[in-house]
Amino acid sequence: MSTKPMKPLHKPKKTVDLSKADTIKCDDCGNYLFINSYAIKRISAILSPTGQEGIVPVQVYSCGNCGKVPSMFLEGTGLGTDG
Ligand SMILES: [Zn+2]
């Protein structure tokens, strides 16, 4: 095993202009402030790779106004209602 020479880390500093980036808004009320939430999935023993029941938190963001979670955050959780 040879030790690789350290690559000089010169990342060109890209400044992201957030004013030009899309803001995700609540589908329901148009609010754009979201709070951290977790959907908790319970893995049954049948589905679990370990053969034991388990609990898996899935982080989502919910609207700070009406509480709705945009469907894009629910993809893969099986919680989307209007699929
Ligand atoms: Zn909302």
pLDDT tens string 21-64: 999 999 899 999 999 999 898 999 998 888 999 998 989 999 99
**pTM (predicted TM-score):** 0.61
Q: How far is the CA of 25 from the centre of ligand 1 (A)?
A: 8
Question: In the prediction, which pLDDT does 80 show?
Answer: 67
> The tokens of 54 are what?
């388990």
d(CA 51, CA 58): 20
Kindly give the distance from the C-alpha atom of residue 21 to the centroid of ligand 1, in angstroms, as a whole number: 20
Cβ-based neighbours of 74, under 8 Å, separated by 6 or more: 39, 60, 80
CA separation for the pair 26, 5 (Å, rounded): 48
Residue of higher predicted confidence among 3 and 72: 72
Q: Which residue has the higher pLDDT, 65 or 41?
A: 65
Would the pLDDT of 83 be above 50? no
Query: What is the per-residue pLDDT for 61?
Result: 93
**CB count, 10 Å around CB of 28?**
12
Cα(26) to centroid of ligand 1, in Å? 5
3-state secondary structure of 39: strand
